[in-house]
Amino acid sequence: MASDSLTKLLPKDFIWGFATASFQIEGSTDVDGRGKSFWDDFSRTPGKTLDGRNGDVATDSYKLWKEDVELLAQYGVKSYRFSIAWSRIIPLGGRDDPINPKGIEFYSKLIDALLEKNIIPFVTLYHWDLPQSLHERYGGWLNKEEIVKDYTRYAKVCFEAFGDRVKYWLTMNEPWCISILGYGRGVFAPGRSSDRARSPEGDSSTEPWIVGRNVILSHASAVKAYREIFKPAQKGQIGITLNGDWQMPYDDSPENVAAAQHALDVAIGWFADPIYLGHYPPYMREMLGSRLPEFSEQEIELVKGSSDFYGMNTYTTNLCRAGGDDEFQGLVDYTFTRPDGTQLGKQAHCAWLQDYPEGFRSLLNYLWNRYHLPIYVTENGFAVKDEDTMPLEQALNDTDRVHYFEGTTRVLLQATHEDGVDVKAYFPWSLLDNFEWADGYVTRFGLTYVDYDTQKRYPKQSARFLTKWFKEHQEESSSPSGIYKRGTSSLSESSTKVPGTPEAADAIKIATSKPSKDPSRLKKIKQAVWKLIC
Ligand code: PNW
């Protein structure tokens, strides 16, 4: 019964936290040796963002990161998903280009600060900010021979620098968006498209599919390196995260039922089927013919099984009708209007999003039944309509977003306890309002409101809701929450619980010893904490 599952708890090792991405929050694009990413100039080009604003400052998190970590601690999260900017680590991006120690230092300090607050770093290696020089040098994601090697070297540098402390890696964020929005529709960097009003260069009929293949291969090559060289000692998990919304037939006519599957095949199966099953969905081949770039036998061997878990970003549900000429949606028309004229759910600020939690449950079931791997929900969220133009008090009282999360958290319990889906993590998007790509700053997805004039952060009602919900719906952890005393705030109480394992006792002993006695004290605490977590 539904009521039954809603009183059950999520297990203590369930991971929840908030997510962000480097280009959307960091700003400081020209400091400490950072090279340009291809979003720098793209976002500065007139007409590319809705409000004409760019990522030069964003939420200023390169400077304000300590404040952000403090906020996460106040929210009581178990984890923080953030991404590393490739061009801070290797400013020119390539495998023979120099590494930037300042870039390594920045993320290293962030990781240490998170661990000190007992927050698990969940790290994305690529969230859309390709070093500009790789795009100029050889076409970036279009060039298989070069990009696979350069990406793999970048990933290895990160594993080497951070893998002693990072145990969860995501290779790529949303390959569908990288390929389709960047090289098909041309709305994201590098903005290539067949539409000559939009771009002087590009071929939307071939390039997105080539980019998709190259992203998959780069991901798989980095995973191979991790598993062979780093995992034996570092013992982390690595995978990819795919965007994908539930695709529901508009009605029960056979062509619309088939259309919904076609939409899933192109939105999700394009990447998930090769990675988890070892081949493209047959419909991709049927739709694209020779334009679908094949994998060699050796390549498919590399790709199949290259993700330890299913990483899922999902926001909404589409009603699907056969027809139309949009290959990027699998030749399927999407609508939110049901046959009886009613809307599927509450409309968000962006046209592509309505609130429909039942679709989230269906998607979790579909992915679990098709791929049989634990699911990490790495993004899920809602942008309240017109939030940007509301007075602050009204924006903070974000009832539509609270309603959205009431639905998705309810479904999380139902999928776990009624349907038997193995969901291991949940990361609402996003910790902060931030640079929402082509939307600029007018679309706000944050659980925390950012006043862009002052960079002051204000928790929204939805953040309070989620903090409370997870406190009430998760088994108490015997993990190290008692080791580091959390900051007290109106959002979280300090924890003084003493975990009961020998490792925890060790960690507490070291943590409470006089700091001056042992210079390696912090390192020992971290080691003990990791023993507990892993
Ligand atoms: C994701 N769509 O992007 C990204 O991972 C985030 O960086 C982003 O801020 C967030 O979702 C909210 O948009 C998407 O058009 C962008 O369907 C566009 C779509 C989906 C996801």
pLDDT tens column, 372-410: 999 999 999 999 999 999 999 999 999 999 999 999 999
Percent of the chain exceeding pLDDT 70 equals 89
Angstrom distance (rounded) from CA 499 to CA 1: 34
Residue 332 in any domain: the answer is no
Residue 509 in any domain: the answer is no
Residue 2 in any domain: the answer is no
Q: Ligand 1 centroid to 192 CA: how many Å?
A: 18
Nearest to 345 by CA among 403, 390, 268: 403
Assess whether pLDDT exceeds 60 at residue 490.
no
Q: How far apart are the first and last CA of the chain?
A: 34
H or E, element range at 102: helix 101-116
Angstrom distance (rounded) from CA 78 to CA 491: 14
CB atoms near residue 522 (< 10 Å): 15
Q: Which domain holds residue 207?
A: 15-316+345-475
> What per-residue confidence (pLDDT) applies to 478?
55
Residue nearest to atom 3 of ligand 1 (CA): 177
Nearest to 276 by CA among 232, 246, 312: 312
Task: Answer for the pair 202, 269: CB distance below 8 angstroms, yes or no.
Answer: no
Nearest to 388 by CA among 374, 398, 380, 376: 398
Residue 480 in any domain: the answer is no
Mean pLDDT of the chain: 92
- 3-class DSSP state of 456: strand
Residue 470 in any domain: the answer is yes
Burial of 476 (0-12, 13-18, 19+ CB in 10 A): exposed
Q: Which residues are catalytic?
A: 379
CA dihedral 49, 218, 243, 236 (to 10 degrees): -120
Q: Which residue has the tokens 């705030």?
A: 489
pLDDT tens column, 305-337: 999 999 999 999 999 999 999 999 999 999 999
Task: Answer for the pair 430, 378: CB distance below 8 angstroms, yes or no.
Answer: no
Residues with CB under 6 A from ligand 1: 21, 24, 173-174, 177, 243, 313, 352, 379, 429, 436, 445
* Number of the ligand 1 atom closest to the C-alpha atom of 437: 9
Task: Answer for the pair 241, 174: CB distance below 8 angstroms, yes or no.
Answer: yes
Angstrom distance (rounded) from CA 231 to CA 165: 12
Residue nearest to atom 16 of ligand 1 (CA): 177
User: Which segments of 193-343 are extended strands (E)?
Assistant: 237-243, 246-249, 310-313, 317-322, 332-335
Pairing of strands 310-313, 237-243: parallel
Residue 528 in any domain: the answer is no
Residue 517 in any domain: the answer is no
pLDDT tens column, 56-111: 999 999 999 999 999 999 999 999 999 999 999 999 999 999 999 999 999 999 99
Q: Ligand 1 centroid to 404 CA: how many Å?
A: 16
Question: Average pLDDT in the 47-62 region?
Answer: 98
Residue 84: beta bridge partners? none
pLDDT tens column, 491-526: 433 332 333 344 444 443 444 344 444 445 455 444
Angstrom distance (rounded) from CA 343 to CA 338: 6
* Number of the ligand 1 atom closest to the C-alpha atom of 174: 5
Task: Answer for the pair 253, 269: CB distance below 8 angstroms, yes or no.
Answer: no
> What per-residue confidence (pLDDT) applies to 262?
98
Q: Ligand 1 centroid to 380 CA: how many Å?
A: 9
Residue 392 is part of a domain; what is its CATH number?
3.20.20.80
Q: Ligand 1 centroid to 356 CA: how many Å?
A: 17
Residue 3 in any domain: the answer is no
pLDDT tens column, 338-375: 999 999 999 999 999 999 999 999 999 999 999 999 99
Number of domains in the chain: 1
